[in-house]
Structure 1
Amino acid sequence: MEDLGPANKILGMQIHRDRNNRKIWLSQKNYLKKILRRFNMQDCKSISTPLPVNFKLSSSMCPSNEAERKEMSRVPYASAVGSLMFAMICTRPDIAQAVGVVSRYMANPGGEHWIAVKRIMRYIRGTSDVALSVSWVSKLQTVVALSTTEAEYMAATQACKEAIWIQRLLEELGHKQQKIPMFCDSQSALHIVRNPTFHSRTKHIGVQYHFVREVVEDGSVDLQKIHTKENLADVLTKPINADKFIWNRSSCGLAET
């Protein structure tokens, strides 16, 4: 074996260290530039957000005849989305919501869908230097929620599971963690968490989603209300205006290297 010194790259990700401030970042700058060159977007005009506010894609935009399908067959849609998805999973949660939207039309993409993919690349063009090291997820829920409250309640359970896993990992590395603070902008979801006798609204929800009640009750997690304007998770769930997007991005730990 040979000691090659501190690691500076892993799985195509660059590792940046600031030992004085005890910080570490992961970056895919070189990979992202390679993607842009691959799809001839290296000289495109950059933009400030992956998708505009109130942006909508739908299946009605899919090709409706053979001529349109033949035209779109020449577009490397699946390859482009797959390339962006790898960056999203590794170091770029700021494009998670946008990539999640365009990935729904992989089977039969239309021209509008391809324009949206290229817009994400234009955003990447201006932000290829940003890096981070954190855990996140942005995806459609696998079960049907009958209300926004239920969706928030189920999401809180998933967030608790991830937070507790990270807490135990850090403890194994010698860093004892205290009670985990977690935030939710839904007052009604918080009410369900704190009121286990609220059966009329929750008796149909799967038992596994009540895990959040247990960890809040035993003190492992401190679930708190946060104002929607201060909710960092918005960048993972919907298109937002440029000012809030940039604030969310930096608050999540994404910084230029």
Structure 2
Amino acid sequence: MTGNKNVLVNYKEGKEGAVTFGDGNKGQNFGKGDLVLNGVAPLTVVLYLTDGIFFAHIYVNDIIFGSTCESEVTRFVELMQSEFEMSLIGDLSYFLGLQIKQSEQGMFISQSKYTKSMLEKIGFTQVKHAHTPTTSKLNKDESGDPVDPTLYHSMIGSLLYLTASRPNISFSVGLCARYQANAKQSHLTAVKRIFEYLAGTVEFGLWYSCDTYMSLVGYSDSDWAGSLDDRKSTSGVCFYIGNNLVSWISKKQHSISLSTAEAEYIAVGSCYTQLIWLNKMLTDYGYPQKSFTLFCDNTSTINISKNPVQHSRTKHIDMRYQFIRNMVESKMLTISHISTNAQLADLFTKALDAQTYAHL
């Protein structure tokens, strides 16, 4: 549904939880229930009704809305069209460059049209396909030949937008983005390899299955001293609700770690803060999580989180990461070991061989 960008901005809560949309004078009551302004996504309105839940997400002049009660959806459409000039697009199939295919089994989200357009723009439609988006580490390459900064910035910007539905290129794009200030030919070659990989995986995307469960878990990993320029480590974390991937991060750490355990511990701390953020969103939707499970493949990190005797080995680690031990002691967080071969977050920390990449 599209219309005036002020739609749903002027609303108020009436008596007995009834929500009024409009300017107050002409507004109509939509339904009775508890109104929640999503604290994580301020432009999301969640309304708990007596017979279900209704939500609406607003982005500029577009609205995505839905409900577990079909009659409430129909009434909302009638109400909004009576108050504003709006057009009903129908079932969600395209939004902000994302293509959405819905079925009884689940939902598939991709950016294949955007990917094809991007490849045509740079002339990469007939290139040899790469099996992985990156194969090696990069450095500043100060003696290398400089490249057109405008071209490089444009290519990186296009790829960053694509990571919304392609988590498998997040690390590669983030790595190349570090060198935008002074890009060299070696960096441009690495960017072109990402496009070569995309040329062979245009139709890839994210599948969200209906056959799942509402349990939030996280995977945390790091690549110790992976940066060739400053020897900082890279944190990689991803989060699943049931069987479905909902969030992921690939980011270079701010400080230099003195051991793999320290790098992993910092990654675990970042992972847990993101879990808190996701739980806030789930709570607003009526699915609060009382505790979390986080999977890590480093036994030393798990021991540090459980054993206070290890304090002497961790007192040099930034204090903001030490709250992990308190969370474990209060049983709000469980850190479980997972084998390196099954560590899904490994995809966000380093370049992998084709077999491991395809497996993850």
Q: Bin the TM-score by the shorter chain.
A: 0.7 to 0.9
Residue 122 (str. 1) matches residue 196 (str. 2) = yes
* Residues in 1 aligned to 2:149 and 2:309: alpha-carbon distance in whole angstroms: 57
What 5-or-longer segments of structure 1 have no aligned partner? Answer: 249-257
Match of 1:252 in 2: none
Match of 1:149 in 2: 261
- Once the 2 structures are TM-superposed, how far is the Cα of residue 46 of structure 1 from its aligned partner? 1.4
RMSD of aligned alpha carbons:
1.9
Please report the TM-score for the alignment, with normalisation by the length of structure 2. Answer: 0.62
- Once the 2 structures are TM-superposed, how far is the Cα of residue 214 of structure 1 from its aligned partner? 2.1
Q: State the AA in 2 paired with 1:164.
A: I
Of the three residues 99, 114, 136, the one matched with 2:173 is: 99
- Once the 2 structures are TM-superposed, how far is the Cα of residue 175 of structure 1 from its aligned partner? 2.5
Q: State the AA in 2 paired with 1:26.
A: I
Match of 2:110 in 1: 27
Kept in 2, the 8 Å contact 1:98–1:120? The answer is yes
Larger-Rg structure: 2
* Stretches (4+) displaced over 4 A: none
Question: Structure 1 or 2: larger strand share?
Answer: 2
* Residues in 2 aligned to 1:164 and 1:191: alpha-carbon distance in whole angstroms: 22
Match of 1:183 in 2: 295
Match of 1:108 in 2: 182
Of the three residues 156, 170, 178, the one matched with 1:81 is: 156
Q: State the AA in 2 paired with 1:8.
A: S
Of the three residues 9, 23, 36, the one matched with 2:94 is: 9
* Residues in 2 aligned to 1:115 and 1:130: alpha-carbon distance in whole angstroms: 23
The structure-2 alpha-carbon separation of the partners of 1:195 and 1:14, relative to structure 1 and needing over 3 Å to count, comes to same
Please report the TM-score for the alignment, with normalisation by the length of structure 1. Answer: 0.85
Match of 1:254 in 2: none
* Residues in 2 aligned to 1:189 and 1:58: alpha-carbon distance in whole angstroms: 29
The number of equivalent residue pairs is: 237
Match of 1:242 in 2: 354
What 5-or-longer segments of structure 2 have no aligned partner? Answer: 1-80, 82-86, 207-244
Bigger shift: residues 41-50 or 3-12: 3-12
For residue 251 of structure 2, give the secondary structure of its aligned residue in structure 1.
coil
Kept in 2, the 8 Å contact 1:62–1:109? The answer is no
Bigger shift: residues 105-114 or 169-178: 169-178
Residue 203 (str. 1) matches residue 288 (str. 2) = no
Kept in 2, the 8 Å contact 1:61–1:113? The answer is no
Match of 2:252 in 1: 140
Q: State the AA in 2 paired with 1:130.
A: F
> Does 1 or 2 have the higher relative contact order (CA < 8 Å, sep 6+)?
1
Of the three residues 85, 105, 119, the one matched with 1:36 is: 119
Q: State the AA in 2 paired with 1:128.
A: V
